[in-house]
Amino acid sequence: MKKFVIAGTLVTALAVGVTAFAQAPKQPPAPQAPKPAAEQPAGQAAEKTVVKKRVSQPAGNADASHTAPKSQPATADEPAAPGAMALGSVRIVGGVKADGKELPAGTYQVRLTADEAKPDAKGSSEKLERWVEFVKGGQVVGREVVSIVPATEAKLVQKDTPPASGSAKVETLKGGDYVRVWINRGGNYYLVHLTKSS
């Protein structure tokens, strides 16, 4: 009989406890710290959490304020440009154009001027792109831009056989549209390109 009384008391206590628990007001769960990204399920982001990534800066530019390229050491000195002088005489066979104007066939004295070919300069240095004059009978008949190739760089651009020192070579280039006047003076090459007259 004692067993039934104890069992009955126990069942009654459990029933009262479950009823009291069910009727108690529910409290919101305690906030949890967000899980690290590695522990979160794929596609689920932590709410109201801002993740800032630290961008590594290259060495020597910690504040990322350097915008212009760093200056580089000079690999070669600026070649010295020769002054105005007579380069020699050339014989042009067939009509050509110098600076867009007709230059008839004939023999001309070629004279280097001190005038730089700005803004027509196409070479690596404006000082080495100058004007030459074609002189006949003491009169300037035409002029054209000349590219000066210093003796130190002559082997870098030389493909054809150059004229002998102190002489000139006039030749029609492949395609027949241009005539090249190539003068060798003092070890420097002077290259003038004239267009063929049509």
Two structure tokens written together for 20? 């009291």
Residue 100 CA to residue 143 CA, distance in Å, equals: 9
Give the list of residues 6+ apart from residue 109 with CB closer than 8 angstroms, or none.
86, 88, 89, 134, 135, 136
Do you find a cis peptide bond into 119, omega within 30 degrees of 0?
yes
Prediction pTM value:
0.57
Q: What is the pLDDT of residues 40-85, one digit of tens each?
A: 555 554 455 555 555 555 555 555 555 666 666 655 555 566 888 9
